[in-house]
């Protein structure tokens, strides 16, 4: 059923997590029919995020229902911000956008009427029911190069009354379909040497192997080992993710076992003489590998992380996956692994209010020193 005229639909707003739970079955059915089907929009991902964030998070989820069921969902939550310690704002943020490693935010709508439905969701943000609930929207990591991201941006342009500043953000993906079963010959001479050298040193040390997590009985211990290796590597630079963000570790503890049951989890480890020296956490969804976190022992053989990544690529090619997705930020390291730069978008959206005049006069972003979450 196409709803371009949107005359035969009912729109409701979910403002508590109990009602969110009732959306589970329709949510996943709609997601696979959308133009933005990705792991970070699954009901399972968002529900695990809800659990780790606690009851303080207030949802604001717009749902459009047609005669055949739910046809569109815009999942937000409300967070307070303060501008220069003077003005307080109610911000709408996309569910799961903090404390989980989420990327690729989007509305979930029927693909065949995507722009019309997404436009209707944007428009409802200005309805008498929803408009008083928010001042601005911070919408991050839009996959602007893909169809779903393009329809989201196009639909936003169609709506009067919403002002928007946009910034480009970089992502990195290696298209595996472009390469043979062994990616090694395609890599630079220097990178090939950086893989082969530690590989030979591993052989000289004796027994070593690559293993994956295959059962519930081992996943808890392996996750803790990953957190430990990751922190050990990065704390030298003061960047240990799990030390700074314990809520992220809590999210992985809840979501990874669920992902294992769903067949999404890829938890790879390199063991030498029975001791884990490097690990990688990722997920496979829609025939693409999403690399999430890695860790290795900095006191072990230099380059062991490169060996692990090479075997990760090899496993992806054996599975026949189409893409090795490094997700956010394009770096020289990712380029060396044949990643292509993709440009996404962050959106700062505000409605016409007197208190929002500073956003019109000057480009202010909720990532700087003036506008901060409470």
| Lowest pLDDT segment from 50-59, 235-244, 264-273, 315-324 | 235-244
pLDDT given at position 246: 79
Say if 110 falls within a structural domain: yes
- 260 plus 146 within the same structural domain: no
pLDDT given at position 1: 44
Cβ(74)–Cβ(88) under 8 Å? Answer: no
Over residues 231-249, the mean pLDDT reads 70
The CATH number covering residue 260 comes to: 3.40.630.30
Cβ(279)–Cβ(256) under 8 Å? Answer: no
pLDDT given at position 239: 56
- 162 plus 184 within the same structural domain: no
pLDDT band at 55 (very low <50, low <70, confident <90, very high): confident
pLDDT given at position 38: 97
Say if 5 falls within a structural domain: no
- pLDDT at residue 4 tops 60: no
DSSP collapsed to 3 states, 298-338: CCCCCCHHHHHHHHHHHHHHHCCCCEEEEEECCCHHHHHCC
- 267 plus 367 within the same structural domain: no
- 356 plus 305 within the same structural domain: no
Share above pLDDT 70 across residues of the chain, in percent, rounded to a whole number: 95
Give the model confidence (pLDDT) of 140-152 as tens digits.
999 999 999 999 9
Say if 106 falls within a structural domain: yes
Cβ(65)–Cβ(1) under 8 Å? Answer: no
pLDDT given at position 132: 96
Give the model confidence (pLDDT) of 192-216 as tens digits.
999 999 999 999 998 999 999 988 8
- 212 plus 326 within the same structural domain: yes
Please give the C-alpha separations between residue 50 and each of 44, 164, 169, 254, 340, in angstroms, as whole numbers. 10, 28, 26, 11, 33
Over residues 308-321, the mean pLDDT reads 96
> Nearest 5°: phi and psi at 289?
-95, 130
- 110 plus 192 within the same structural domain: no
- 52 plus 190 within the same structural domain: no
Say if 1 falls within a structural domain: no
Tell me what the pLDDT averaged over the chain comes to.
92
Over residues 346-366, the mean pLDDT reads 93
Say if 125 falls within a structural domain: yes
- 289 plus 147 within the same structural domain: no
Say if 287 falls within a structural domain: yes
CA 361 from chain centre, in angstroms, equals 32
Report which of residues 341 and 5 the model is more confident about: 341
- The burial of 210, by beta-carbon neighbours within 10 Å (0-12 exposed, 13-18 middle, 19 or more buried), is given as middle
In the chain, the number of structural domains is 2
- The burial of 90, by beta-carbon neighbours within 10 Å (0-12 exposed, 13-18 middle, 19 or more buried), is given as middle
| Lowest pLDDT segment from 23-37, 110-124, 354-368 | 354-368
Instruction: Report the distance separating Cα 326 and Cα 292, nearest Å.
Output: 8
- 118 plus 237 within the same structural domain: no
pLDDT given at position 374: 87
- 40 plus 154 within the same structural domain: yes
Q: In this structure, what token pair is assigned to residue 366?
A: 């909720």
- The burial of 335, by beta-carbon neighbours within 10 Å (0-12 exposed, 13-18 middle, 19 or more buried), is given as middle
- 262 plus 329 within the same structural domain: yes
Q: Which domain holds residue 220?
A: 180-337
Say if 124 falls within a structural domain: yes
Give the model confidence (pLDDT) of 138-184 as tens digits.
999 999 999 999 999 999 998 999 999 999 999 999 999 999 889 99
Give the model confidence (pLDDT) of 83-108 as tens digits.
988 899 999 999 999 888 899 999 99
- 146 plus 103 within the same structural domain: yes
Over residues 330-344, the mean pLDDT reads 96
Say if 174 falls within a structural domain: no
């Amino acid at each position: 059923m196409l709803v371009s005229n949107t005359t035969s639909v009912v729109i409701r707003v979910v403002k508590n997590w109990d009602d969110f739970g009732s959306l589970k079955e329709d949510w996943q059915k709609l997601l696979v029919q959308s133009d933005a089907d990705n792991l970070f929009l699954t009901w399972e991902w968002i529900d695990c995020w809800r659990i780790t964030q606690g009851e303080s998070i207030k949802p604001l989820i717009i749902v459009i229902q047609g005669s055949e069921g739910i046809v569109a969902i815009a999942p937000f939550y409300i967070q307070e911000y303060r501008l220069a310690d003077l003005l307080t704002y109610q911000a709408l943020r996309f569910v799961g956008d903090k404390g989980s490693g989420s990327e690729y935010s989007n509305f979930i709508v029927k693909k065949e009427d995507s722009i019309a439905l997404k436009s209707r969701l944007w428009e409802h943000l200005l309805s008498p029911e929803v408009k008083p609930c928010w001042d601005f929207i911070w919408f991050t990591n839009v996959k602007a190069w893909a169809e779903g991201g393009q329809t989201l941006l196009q639909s936003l342009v169609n709506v009067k009354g919403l002002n928007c500043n946009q910034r480009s953000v970089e992502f990195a993906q290696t298209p595996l379909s472009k390469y043979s079963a062994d990616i090694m010959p395609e890599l630079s001479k220097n990178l090939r040497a950086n893989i082969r050298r530690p590989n030979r040193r591993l052989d000289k040390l004796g027994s070593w192997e690559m293993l994956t997590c295959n059962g519930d009985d081992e996943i808890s211990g392996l996750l803790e080992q990953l957190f430990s290796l990751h922190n050990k590597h990065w704390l030298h630079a003061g960047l240990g993710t799990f030390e700074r963000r314990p809520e992220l570790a809590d999210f992985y503890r809840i979501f990874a076992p669920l992902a294992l049951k769903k067949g999404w989890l890829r938890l790879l480890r390199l063991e030498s003489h029975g001791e884990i020296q490097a690990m990688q956490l990722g997920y496979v969804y829609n025939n693409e590998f999403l690399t999430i976190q890695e860790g290795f022992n900095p006191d072990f053989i230099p380059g062991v992380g490169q060996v692990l990544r090479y075997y990760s690529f090899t496993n992806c090619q054996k599975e026949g996956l189409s893409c090795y997705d490094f997700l956010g930020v394009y770096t020289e390291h990712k380029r060396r692994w044949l990643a292509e730069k993709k440009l996404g978008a962050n959106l700062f959206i505000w409605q016409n209010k007197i208190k929002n005049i500073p956003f019109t006069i000057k480009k202010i972003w909720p990532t700087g020193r003036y506008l901060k979450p409470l």
